[in-house]
């Protein structure tokens, strides 16, 4: 903690800029402790609050523009790539698409407050070719709000921040160890949940070739696309697939025989969303539900047609 205070004191705006830039670029370097400390120091004669916010917004815009450009260059595929390094990758793609579809560019005003959403949302904005001026306006507004809250907390509660930092500093290496242990336990819990899900995914998946054969033999009772409407409109669906509202699964399957073969697919790492739907279908009586290995991306890469 003393090191953090010292860095902010000595390098001021430059350190804030680099920390925010690194976080928004995707590195696991939390910026809020820096922003809170910088805000507390601003109350005592450090860099003014408006300069801290300006520098933070500038750093965020640089990193976010990079993700926006990647989205324009690689399209919706960039979402799966980004979510593969997310601790919440099982819901990353679906959550981003759902939020963006519901609130549009305005979702970027709060994107940085939602874990795993910020960089994916900016890449999605590029993938759907949102006007860059519109992107900058909403992204800058969201960055200003996010940076402002951090700096404002430090400024408003400078005495409390000082007491907490003093207490942790008095703990010395034990204080640092406590922070590291808590963070490690959080990482471990995320990994354990993901490991259990991956084990289940490996048991029932169907390949693209197997699906093509099942369709040709008319052995598929229902082919289900569990992606958001936004993504389906951009990339198309496997011919014959039905879109589904994940909140109304029971209604969508009223006329589907429970003994038939049901194939579900998405565009998420390890078909995670598809397997979640499969789990819900089993609860309402379906016996044979399998996720498509590789999802829609594997289907398209194999040269198969899609319908819009």
**Res. 89 pLDDT band, cuts 50 70 90:** low
Q: Is 66 within 8 Å of 178 (Cβ atoms)? A: no
At residue 173 the predicted structure's pLDDT band, cuts being 50, 70 and 90, is low
Question: SS3 sequence, 262-287?
Answer: EEEECCCHHHHHHHHHHHHHHHCCCC
Measured distance CA(73)–CA(69) in Å, rounded: 6
pLDDT > 60? residue 308: yes
- Which of 209, 218, 278 minimizes the C-alpha distance to 244? 278
Asked whether 154 and 37 are in contact (CB, 8 A), the reply is: yes
Q: For 89-98, 210-219, 255-264, which range has the lowest pLDDT when averaged over its residues?
A: 89-98
The mean per-residue pLDDT over the stretch 74-93 comes to 64
From 90-94, 182-186, 290-294, the region with the lowest mean pLDDT? 90-94
Is 155's pLDDT higher than 80?
Answer: yes
**pLDDT for 77 beyond 50:** yes
Q: CB-side exposure of 246: number of CA atoms within 13 Å?
A: 20
Mean pLDDT of 173-194: 66
The whole-number pLDDT of residue 269 equals 56
Give the range with max mean pLDDT: 32-41, 115-124, 260-269: 32-41
Q: What is the pLDDT of residues 128-147, one digit of tens each?
A: 889 999 999 999 999 999 99
Q: Where are the alpha helices (DSSP H) in 205-228?
A: 208-216
Mean pLDDT to the nearest integer, 163-170: 61
Which band of pLDDT confidence, cut at 50, 70 and 90, is reported for residue 200? low
The span from the CA of 111 to the CA of 105, in Å, is: 10
d(CA 191, CA 30): 19
Quick one: pLDDT at residue 287?
76
Express each pLDDT in 92-109 by its tens digit. 666 677 777 778 889 899
Specify the higher pLDDT residue, 273 or 281: 281
Which residue do the tokens 């406590």 mark?
Answer: 178
Whole-number Cα distances in Å, 87 to 11, 77, 84, 110, 194: 31, 18, 8, 20, 8
Lowest-confidence region among 150-164, 172-186, 290-304: 172-186
pLDDT top residue among 259 and 211: 211
128 touches 96 (CB < 8 A): no
Q: How far apart are CA 291 and CA 55, in angstroms?
A: 46
Residue in 50, 178, 17, 62 with CA at minimum distance from that of residue 7: 17
Q: What is the dihedral of CA 225, 80, 286, 206, to 10 degrees?
A: 90
Please report which confidence band the pLDDT of residue 174 belongs to, taking 50, 70 and 90 as the band edges.
Answer: low
Q: Are 79 and 68 in contact, with CB atoms under 8 Å apart?
A: no
Task: Output the pLDDT for position 87.
Answer: 46
């Amino acid at each position: 903690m003393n090191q953090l205070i010292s860095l902010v004191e000595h390098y001021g705006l430059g350190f804030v800029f680099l920390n925010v830039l690194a976080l928004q670029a995707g590195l696991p370097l939390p910026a809020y402790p820096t922003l809170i400390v910088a805000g507390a120091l601003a109350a005592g004669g450090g860099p003014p609050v408006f300069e801290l916010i300006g520098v933070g917004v500038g750093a965020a815009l640089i990193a976010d523009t990079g993700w926006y450009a990647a989205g324009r260059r690689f399209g919706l595929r960039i979402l799966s790539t980004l979510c593969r390094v997310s601790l919440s990758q099982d819901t990353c793609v679906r959550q981003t698409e759902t939020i963006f579809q519901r609130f549009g560019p305005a979702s970027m005003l709060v994107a940085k407050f939602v874990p795993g959403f910020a960089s994916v949302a900016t890449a999605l904005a590029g993938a759907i070719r949102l006007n860059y001026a519109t992107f900058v306006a909403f992204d800058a507004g969201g960055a200003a709000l996010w940076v402002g809250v951090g700096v404002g907390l430090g400024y408003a509660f400078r005495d409390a921040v000082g007491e907490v930092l003093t207490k942790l500093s008095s703990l010395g290496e034990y204080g640092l160890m406590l922070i590291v242990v808590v963070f490690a336990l959080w990482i471990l819990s995320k990994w354990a949940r993901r490991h259990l899900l991956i084990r289940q995914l490996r048991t029932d998946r169907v390949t693209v070739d197997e699906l093509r054969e099942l369709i040709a033999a008319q052995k598929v009772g229902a082919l289900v696309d569990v992606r958001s409407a936004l993504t389906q409109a951009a990339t198309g669906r496997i011919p014959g697939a039905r879109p589904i509202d994940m909140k109304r699964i029971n209604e969508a399957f009223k006329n589907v025989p429970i003994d038939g073969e049901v194939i579900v697919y998405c565009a998420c790492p390890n078909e995670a969303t598809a397997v979640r739907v499969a789990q819900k279908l089993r609860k309402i009586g379906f016996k044979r539900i399998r996720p498509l290995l590789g999802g829609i991306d594997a289907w398209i890469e194999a040269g198969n047609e899609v319908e819009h």
